[in-house]
Structure 1
Amino acid sequence: MPIDIYMFKVSPPCRAVLMTALEINVKLNEKLIDPSKGELLSPDFVKLNPTHAVPAIDDNGFVMWESRAIMQFLCNKYAPDSTLYPKDAKLRAQVDMWLNMDISLYIKIRQTLVTGYYGMPVKPEDEKQLWANIKLIDQLIGNRQYLVGDRLTIADLSLLATSAGTTLLDQDLTEYPHFKQWSDGLAQSLPYYQEINIVAPEVRQQFINNMKAYMSKMKEMMNK
Structure 2
Amino acid sequence: MDFYYSAASGPCRAVLMTAQAIGVELNKIPVDLRKGEHLTPEYLKLNPQHTVPTLVDNGFSVWDSHAIVIYLAEKYAKEDTLYPACPQKRALINQRLYFDVELYTVFWNYFSEAVLKKTLYKPEILEKAKTKLEFLNTLLGGNEFAVGESLTVADLSLLATVTTLDVFSTLPGFVVNIKEYENIEKWYESMKKVAPGYQQNLDDVLAVKKYFVK
- TM-score higher than 0.5: yes
The number of equivalent residue pairs is: 206
State the AA in 1 paired with 2:62: M
- Cα 1:133–1:52 change in 2 (3 A) is same
In the alignment, what sits opposite 1:156? 155
Equivalent runs, 1:31-50 vs 2, <5 Å: 31-50=29-48
Which of 77, 81, 84 is the matching residue for 2:82?
Answer: 84
Residues 68, 99 of structure 1: 8 Å contact kept: yes
- Cα 1:200–1:100 change in 2 (3 A) is closer
**What's the CA shift for 1:195?**
1.7
In the alignment, what sits opposite 1:204? 209
Residues 81, 87 of structure 1: 8 Å contact kept: no
Q: TM-score of the superposition, structure 2-length normalised?
A: 0.89
Residues 3, 26 of structure 2: 8 Å contact kept: yes
**What's the CA shift for 1:110?**
1.0
Does residue 178 of structure 1 match 2:178? no
State the AA in 2 paired with 1:130: A
Residues 168, 209 of structure 2: 8 Å contact kept: no
State the AA in 2 paired with 1:144: N
| Matched residue SS, 2:124 | helix
In the alignment, what sits opposite 1:130? 129
Which deviates more from structure 2 when the two are superposed, residues 131-140 or residues 162-171?
Answer: 162-171
Q: 5+ unaligned residues in a row in structure 1: which ranges?
A: 210-224
- Cα 1:201–1:158 change in 2 (3 A) is closer
**What's the CA shift for 1:189?**
2.6
- Cα 1:57–1:120 change in 2 (3 A) is farther
In 2, distance between residues paired with 1:201 and 1:15?
13
Identity of aligned residues (%): 36
State the AA in 1 paired with 2:44: V
In 2, distance between residues paired with 1:99 and 1:191?
18
In 2, distance between residues paired with 1:23 and 1:200?
19
State the AA in 2 paired with 1:16: A
Residues 134, 181 of structure 2: 8 Å contact kept: yes
Which of 95, 104, 110 is the matching residue for 1:106?
Answer: 104
- Cα 1:150–1:143 change in 2 (3 A) is same
In 1, distance between residues paired with 2:63 and 2:116?
25
Query: What is the CA deviation profile of residues 28-53 of structure 1, one whole-angstrom value per residue up to 9, with x for unaligned ones?
Result: 01000111222222222222211111
**What's the CA shift for 1:140?**
1.7
Residues 17, 71 of structure 1: 8 Å contact kept: yes
In 2, distance between residues paired with 1:203 and 1:12?
11
In 1, distance between residues paired with 2:201 and 2:22?
15
In the alignment, what sits opposite 2:21? 23
In the alignment, what sits opposite 1:217? none
State the AA in 2 paired with 1:82: D
RMSD of aligned Cα (Å): 1.9
| Matched residue SS, 1:30 | strand
In 2, distance between residues paired with 1:69 and 1:31?
19
Does residue 58 of structure 1 match 2:69? no
Q: TM-score of the superposition, structure 1-length normalised?
A: 0.85
In the alignment, what sits opposite 2:172? none
In 2, distance between residues paired with 1:202 and 1:148?
30
**What's the CA shift for 1:169?**
1.6
